[in-house]
Amino acid sequence: MALQIYNTMTRSKEAFVPQEPGKVKMYVCGPTVYGYMHIGNARPVIVFDTVRNYLEQTGNEVRYLTNFTDVDDKMIRKAEEMNITVADVAEMFIAAYQEDLQGLGVKPATMNPRVTQSMDMIIEFIKELEEKGYAYESGGDVYYRTGKFADYGKLSRQNLEELQFGIRVEVDSRKEKPEDFVLWKAAKPGEVHWHSPWGEGRPGWHIECSAMVREYLGETIDIHGGGQDLQFPHHECECAQTEALTGKPLSNYWMHNGFLNIGDEKMSKSLGNGLLVKDIRQRFKAGAIRYFMLSTHYRNPLNFSEEALMSAEKSAERIALAESNLKHRLELAPEGVQGEASSAVAERLAAITGNFHAKMQDDFNTPDAITAVFDWVNLANQTLANNETASADFAALLKAFAVMNNVLGLVPEQEEEIASEEVERLIAERAEARKNKNWARSDEIRDELGSLGILLEDTPQGMRWRRK
C-alpha cells in the first residue's frame, strides 16, 4: 500500500505522490516568537517531526522548512513590555524554542527562515501582486484584493458572501472590501520598520510564508502543514497570494493537526505557566511527551492532563525498559552473537513491522502504530525470558525497534544514554566503596540501584547489572 495522506484541500485521503520521486518539499508554519513554547504548540512540532521522520525512514529526502515570525504586533508589544528591542525578544525566544525542540527529541529543520531576514523577497512578492492587480496601496498600507482571486475560500470551503458575513467590519477606510487582507503595514511613529516602495513599514503576517516557500522550495511544494486554526485565514491567504502569481497550487497536500485542549478550554498562550514546554520538560522526558502526543491521531482533538502525561510516561518507560534490557544482555556477550534470528522471532518481527508500516501509511495513524510497538515489547520480553544467554534474536529485535523508534522517537537516544551512564557511575562508586571496605555505602548504592530497577550480580567475571 502506498502512503495515504488526508488532504484538507480535498477533504479526503489520497495516495501521496511527491512531485519528484524520493524528494519531498515540506513547509510547516512556525511560531511567532514572543513567548515560550506551550504544550499546544508542541503538538504540530511533534506531529510534523514524526511525518518527516516517516518520510525519511521510507527512503525520501525531505527538505523541511519552518519559519520564525520575528516581527509583528505581538512582538512589538512584548518588546515594549520588556523594554528591549524586537530583535532581542526574537533572539531570546528563538533560543528557548530551539532548546525545547531538542528537549522534545525533534530534529532541526533543514532551514528556519525569519521574516526580518527575508524582507527583499517579501517586498518583491508584493510588488508582483501589485503589478498583476491583486494588490493595492492605500495610505502606506498594501492590501490583497480578495475579490479578484476567484478561488478565495477554496481551502476553508467558504464563499466570499459567507466570508463577508463572518468578518466583523473593521473601521478601516483604507480597505476596498472588508475581506481584503494586509500585505504591508505602514509603520506607526517609532515602530520598527523597513524601507519599501510604499514607504516605511513591515509585512503583514500571511505574506512571509508565500515568499519563503517560493524562494527556498519553489512554486509548488508537496506538503504544507500547521494547526487547524491556520486553515483560515492564514493558509487561505497563502494560497491566494501564491496562486494568483503562479496559477499553480501552492501545495499538493495540506495537513492540519487538531487542537490540544485543557478540559473544555482551548489552549492559548495566555493560559500561562505550568503549560509551558520548558516547565513540563523538567518533570517529563521527551519520550513520555511524545508518547502522549502520538497516542491520539493527529487530526483528532487531544485532551491534556497531568494524569494523561503520567500514564504516557509509564507506557514509554515499558518500551524503553524492553529496549535497554536487550541492549544490556547483548553487551554481556562481548564476543557478539552468532547466526541468524530464529524463524519464529523473525516471522513475528516481520508481522509487527509490517503492521507498523500499514498503520503509518494510513494517514500516519500513530495510535495504532504504537500498538505494534507494544506487540514488539511483548515479543522482546518473551524472548528475553526464553534465552539465558545473548541471542541473535536480541539483535533482530533491536533492529526492528530502531525502525519504529526512528519515526516515533518514544525512546530518544539521549535518554537511553543518560540512564545507562547513571547506572555505570553508581556501579563505579560502589566498587570504590568496596575497595575502601565502606560496606555501608556499598549497600546504600545497591539499594539505590534497586530502586531504579537495576539488579547487581557479583559474578566470577566481575560485577554485572541488569534491569529487573
Nearer CB in complex with ligand AMP: 200/229:
229
Q: Using the rule CB under 5 A, is 29 a contact of Zn ion?
A: yes
Nearer to ligand AMP, 27 or 401 (CB): 27
259 binds, among Zn ion, ligand AMP, none (CB under 5 to 8 A by kind): ligand AMP
Binding mask 209-228 for Zn ion (x = CB under 5 A): x-------------------
The entry of Zn ion, ligand AMP, none that residue 32 binds, CB within 5 to 8 Å by partner kind: ligand AMP
Contacted by 118, from Zn ion, ligand AMP, none: CB < 5 to 8 Å by type:
none
Look at residue 40 and give the partner it binds from ligand AMP, Zn ion, none, a contact being a CB closer than 5 to 8 Å depending on partner kind.
ligand AMP
How far apart (Å, rounded) are the C-alpha atoms in residues 414 and 420?
10
Distance CA 255, CA 157 (A): 15
Q: What is the dihedral of CA 11, 14, 16, 20, to 10 degrees?
A: -80
Q: Which amino acid is at 20?
A: E
The one-letter code for the residue type at 429 is: E
The piece of 29-37, 123-131, 173-181, 375-383 that touches Zn ion (CB under 5 A) is: 29-37
What is the layout of strands, in order, in the sheet containing 251-257?
Answer: 61-66, 23-28, 221-227, 251-257
Amino acid at 136: Y
- Candidates 184-192, 207-215, 302-310, 451-459: pick the segment binding Zn ion (CB under 5 A): 207-215
- The closest residue (CB) to ligand AMP is 227
Q: Of 22-30, 97-105, 178-186, 402-410, which segment contacts Zn ion by CB under 5 A?
A: 22-30
Angle, CA 150 vertex, CA 32 and CA 253 arms, to 5°: 50
Residue 354 grid cell:
509490517
For ligand AMP, give the closer residue by CB, 44 or 113. Answer: 44
Site string for Zn ion, 112-141 (x = CB under 5 A): ------------------------------
Cα 392–Cα 393–Cα 395 angle in degrees, nearest 5: 65
* Cα–Cα distance for residue pair 189/186, rounded to 1 Å: 9
Binding site for ligand AMP (CB under 6 A): 29, 31-32, 40-41, 43-44, 226-227, 229-230, 257, 259-260, 267
For the stretch 81-115, what's the b/e string if a residue is b when 16 or more beta carbons lie within 10 angstroms of its beta carbon? eeeeebeebbebbbebbeebbebbbbeebbebbbb
Instruction: Name the residue nearer to Zn ion (CB basis): 30 or 287.
Output: 30
By DSSP bridging, strand 260-262 and strand 221-227 are: unpaired
The footprint of Zn ion on this chain (CB under 5 A) covers a number of residues equal to 2
- Binder of residue 209, out of Zn ion, ligand AMP, none (CB less than 5 to 8 A by kind): Zn ion
Contact of 363 with 253, CB cutoff 8 Å: no
Residue 131: CB minimum distance to Zn ion, A? 23
Contact window for Zn ion (CB under 5 A) among 134-142, 204-212, 280-288, 431-439: 204-212
In 280-426, the DSSP E strands lie at 302-304
Which residue's CB is nearer to Zn ion, number 29 or number 250?
29
CA distance 40 to 268: 8
The interface partner of residue 260, options being Zn ion, ligand AMP, none and the CB cut-off 5 to 8 Å by kind, is: ligand AMP
